[in-house]
Structure 1
């Protein structure tokens, strides 16, 4: 295939989608394939609550769970705010972004 500099953004997106479908079509164990990424994502919360690694593992895990829940609740709040703003814009007759 030609160099990516000669592809449009739409073509780059399609190429990435093709590659993703190829990956998952040939993947024997999707959970095992994504385990390192999931573990890295969760580990960041432990590093956030205990950057020096001095807490008892159970306490670090407890705090990390709360940090993770906070992260997802924050995402949910932001999503809710954006949806509400778009709904208000539609009610007012404006176009939502």
Structure 2
């Protein structure tokens, strides 16, 4: 099983659990986290041994959203095309 760099992941009895693990930042998402979630969900599309993905957060907050320092500020600097591509990536996480 692949080891994911930006969150903890485990599988047991057909249930996969993804745990955001940045409690000091209330599990705020970075571009890298989004990319790993996209890749994980894409890899699960054809699998029949995992039927459910549970997403949770370590610490006192599930997820505060995009990290202000690492995502929001960068998005404000991006051109329309780059913002569109980022939105497509996050949409792929949901579609998968």
Name the TM-score, length of structure 2 as normaliser.
0.23
**Bigger helix fraction:** 1
Higher relative contact order (CA 8 A, sep 6+): 2
Name the TM-score, length of structure 1 as normaliser.
0.23
